[in-house]
Amino acid sequence: MLAANAQNSVFVTSGKIEYEKRLNLYEMVKDADFNDDGFAELAKKTMPKFKLTYYNLSFTPEKSLYQPGKDNPDNDKGLGWFNDRPAETNIIFSDFESGKSTSQKSLFGESFLIQDTTRRIKWKITDETRVIAGFNCRRANAIIMDSIYVVAFYTDEIVAPGGPESFTGLPGMILGVALPHQHVTWFATKVDVTEVKPAQFAIPTKGKKISNADLVKTLNERLKDWGKSGRRYIQEMML
């Protein structure tokens, strides 16, 4: 839906956004524990450079719901070890008014239900701008999980402080996110301006109830012998 302020500027207050998540598989192979020159070259011949997955975000100024979107049949072809990644079935409900979130995440067939506060990110807003899905966006940078560098692009033309996964806290909707060292991006491909009714915010309910802190402990215990791959799995789960 649209709303106008005193200066007659038009802002989007409700709708649905499609995000394309783009994972650079060639770079991930380079970072893998088992990588060697032969494996890296073989991977380039047998798999695509990028794995693309899609997600939908329904939003109002008060709430948002992020969940898997349309299927990409190409993801069933030649991805091997990279076909089943953590966090690909994430469902995340955010209540901006209360500052609480409920997330449903899965790893190795086990589901977790994380009920916690929304992530608090110390953003640094810059002067850089770009257009994403037809909206004027401004760049902001941050560090999360102590070491992950985040580049985000948000628009104040959409009145909701949300974004893909658990990225929130900017003065408008985040339409683009890049984690350069993790070789992954999320960018909006389209924004549908439409009324989102309360019934469409289906809060996730499945999984073992746990806090973010306890989930990190659980993952560290289970993946302690996985080296770089284990650390990457934990990072992907906690985004």
pLDDT tens string 162-216: 999 999 999 999 999 999 999 999 999 999 999 999 889 999 999 999 999 999 9
Q: What percent of the chain lies above the pLDDT cut of 70?
A: 87
Of residues 81 and 124, more confidence is placed in 124
Least confident range of 41-50, 71-80, 134-143, 183-192: 71-80
The predicted pLDDT at position 36 comes to 58
Q: Which residues contact 45 (CB under 8 A, 6 or more apart)?
A: none
Q: Buried (b) or exposed (e) across 188-219, using 16+ Cβ within 10 A?
A: beebeeeebeeeebeebeebeebebeebeebb
Q: The whole model's pTM is what?
A: 0.90
pLDDT in tens, 75-88: 766 555 566 677 78
Contact by Cβ (8 Å): 158, 176: no
Of residues 53 and 7, more confidence is placed in 53
- Between helix 227-238 and helix 212-222 the angle, nearest 10°, is 160
Read off the pLDDT band of 6 (50, 70, 90). very low
Distance between CA atoms of residues 180 and 140, nearest Å: 14
Read off the pLDDT band of 235 (50, 70, 90). confident
Distance between CA atoms of residues 191 and 221, nearest Å: 40
- Structural domain range at position 191: 2-121+159-238
Strand-pair partners of 192: 16
The predicted pLDDT at position 149 comes to 98
The predicted pLDDT at position 131 comes to 98
Is residue 154 one of the residues assigned to a domain? no
Burial class, 18, CB count within 10 angstroms (exposed 0-12 / middle 13-18 / buried 19+): middle
DSSP tag of 162: -
Is residue 128 one of the residues assigned to a domain? no
Distance between CA atoms of residues 165 and 183, nearest Å: 16
Q: Which residues contact 236 (CB under 8 A, 6 or more apart)?
A: 85, 86, 87, 182
Is residue 150 one of the residues assigned to a domain? no
Is residue 221 one of the residues assigned to a domain? yes
Is residue 144 one of the residues assigned to a domain? no
pLDDT in tens, 87-106: 789 999 999 999 999 999 98
The predicted pLDDT at position 9 comes to 63
Measuring CA to CA, how many Å separate 84 from each of 89, 117, 238?
10, 28, 16
Distance between CA atoms of residues 86 and 82, nearest Å: 10
The predicted pLDDT at position 38 comes to 62
Closest CA to 152 of 167, 166, 133, 165: 167
Least confident range of 75-84, 106-115, 143-152: 75-84
Is residue 129 one of the residues assigned to a domain? no
Is residue 143 one of the residues assigned to a domain? no
Read off the pLDDT band of 230 (50, 70, 90). confident
Contact by Cβ (8 Å): 220, 237: no
Count of alpha carbons within 13 angstroms of residue 83, beta-carbon side: 11
Statement: residue 8 has pLDDT above 50: no
The predicted pLDDT at position 88 comes to 86
Count of alpha carbons within 13 angstroms of residue 18, beta-carbon side: 11
Number of domains in the chain: 1
Is residue 68 one of the residues assigned to a domain? yes
